[in-house]
Structure formats: structure tokens, C-alpha cells
Structure 1
Amino acid sequence: MSFLQTELLSHAQKVCRLYRAGLRALRSEHTQRHLMRYDATLLRNRFDVNAVIDDPIVATQVLEEGMEELRRKDHPLPFKFPNSPGGCAYGREPFLPDAIFDMWHPLEKAQYPEYFARREQRKQEYVDRWEKKYGGSEAKPSAA
């Protein structure tokens, strides 16, 4: 449940996230880069003007107004990176587990001897670390 807030954010972090969300909204809105950059410069100027506010109550109020403005101007079809969830290429390439290399034929493994030698060494190091941390895999006596 990634929508649940699990950490406390400082005012500066909230401002940075609002600025970044504003830039993302501008990217969704504009198809021409030079227009997007112009509006991004204007957005940065608005943040710089409000950066000198010392009163925390006023600063919080300005931040909430900015968040409300972002919600009002939200684009109906926001930009998504292709490989991120909701993007056009999300999940296109399946995740292949590392254990797939263990299924290679020995003749295939012979083509890459250094890689598979190091792989076996790293696998053994992993097993040793596991046994050191959690204990060995002693065979239990059978109850026959």
C-alpha cells in the first residue's frame, strides 16, 4: 500500500516534492520542450519568491495553496515513463530469475568459464554467509 504515508516529512521535503510534481505536470501539459522550459522557469521563480518566508504558519499555508493549485491543474492524461507502472512498456520484459543460469547445459557454460567459475564461488560465499548467520543445514535424524 504505497499510498499510505509511513514517514514524517519536513517542510523543505514537502516543498521539493511539490516542485517536482509541478515539473511533472508541466511535462504532461506541454508537447514542445521550449514551452515547457519557459513555464518551468516561471515555476522556479514562484518557488524562489516564496523561499524567503520565515513564518512557519504562512509557509505552510502557501504550501497548501500550491498543492491545491496542482490538484486543480492536474492533467487528465499525465506523463508516465514507459517502464514505470502505468507506462506503455511496463511489464513488457519478463523478470528472469538468476537461477536460470543453473539450467544451462554444460557445453553452454563452457563458453564462459570465468563467469561461471566466479558464479560458483559467489554462490558458495552466499551459502557460507547464510550458515554463519542462521546455522548449518544439519540432516535431522529420521523417526523410523
Structure 2
Amino acid sequence: MAHLPSELVSHSQKVCSLYKRAIRCIRDWNHKIENYRIQAILMRERFDKNKDIKDMRYATYLLQEGEKELFSNQHYHPMTYPNSASGGAYGRKGETPDCVLDYWHPLEKARYPKYFARREQMKNEYEKWYFETYPDQKKTIKDH
């Protein structure tokens, strides 16, 4: 989900946001770095040309026109970052289950003797707790 501002957004923040979105739109359309840089420099020049405007009505008008121009020039398939909310890897976590460690070779386990000794102790404690809590489960495990 996008960041939703909880307070009022100033005019300068709106302009910065527009500039950032415009630069990303340019990147979407220009895949060669040379073309992208030229267009980005020209875009920065357009923004710098209007940075000293004191009349807020005219500045707001320019901001609205910029938003309209950006909307009309949007790329049909914009680039997204993999971990952003619209990216392909959003919300993925590559967590390996703990049981994989049981299949390690003894030579691999020998590298971390304290860890695996503590792990075996914790497994035994958990098994003891489990069968004390659920005594009828011990019978079903022995049957299989």
C-alpha cells in the first residue's frame, strides 16, 4: 500500500512528488541510458525554470498542468521494483523450515557443535512437553 500522508502536503512537496514521478515516467519510456539522461536533464530544466514563481495561483496552475501532462504521457506498462507493493516479489519471504537442518551431513553439523547440541536439547524438551500436554498422541504415533 502506498504511503498516505496524514497531514497537509505543502506545495513544494507536491512539486517534488511530481518531479519524481516525471523522472520515473521518462525512465519507463527511455531504456537507453543516454536518452534517459538527456530527457531527465531537460525535465530538470523545465522545473528549475519555474522554481522562483511567487504567485501561488500561477504555481498551482502549473502544478495542475504538470499533473495532466504526466497523466497523458504515462507508460502503458511502467517499471516496478520487485519488492514494491505492485512488484512480483512483494511479500515473499524465503524462510527455510527448521526441519531442513535434520538432513545436514554430520560433517556439516560438526562445524557448529554448540548450536546443534542446543538444538537437540530443545527438540527433546519440546517432545517431552508435547507428549505431556497431549498424552493420547503418543499412542497414535506408536501405532504407525
If the length of structure 1 is used for normalisation, what is the TM-score? Answer: 0.62
What is the deviation of 1:5?
Answer: 5.1
Give structure 2 stretches of 5+ with no counterpart: 116-144
What is the deviation of 1:113?
Answer: 7.9
Residue type of the partner of 1:47? Answer: F
Partner of 1:123: none
Aligned pair count? Answer: 114
Partner of 1:52: 52
1:94 aligns with 2:120: no
CA 1:20–1:91: 2 relative to 1, 3 Å: closer
Residue type of the partner of 1:75? Answer: H
What is the deviation of 1:83?
Answer: 2.6
Residue type of the partner of 1:80? Answer: T
**Larger relative helix fraction:** 2
**C-alpha contact (below 8 Å) 2:2/2:85 kept by paired residues:** no
For the residue of structure 2 that corresponds to 1:23, the secondary structure is: helix
Residue type of the partner of 2:57? Answer: I
Partner of 2:31: 31
After TM superposition, which residue ranges in structure 1, 4 or more long, deviate above 6 angstroms? 107-110
What is the deviation of 1:8?
Answer: 1.3
Partner of 2:20: 20
CA 1:113–1:46: 2 relative to 1, 3 Å: farther
Q: Which has the larger radius of gyration?
A: 2
What is the deviation of 1:6?
Answer: 3.0
1:9 aligns with 2:9: yes
**C-alpha contact (below 8 Å) 2:82/2:90 kept by paired residues:** no
Partner of 1:68: 68
If the length of structure 2 is used for normalisation, what is the TM-score? Answer: 0.62
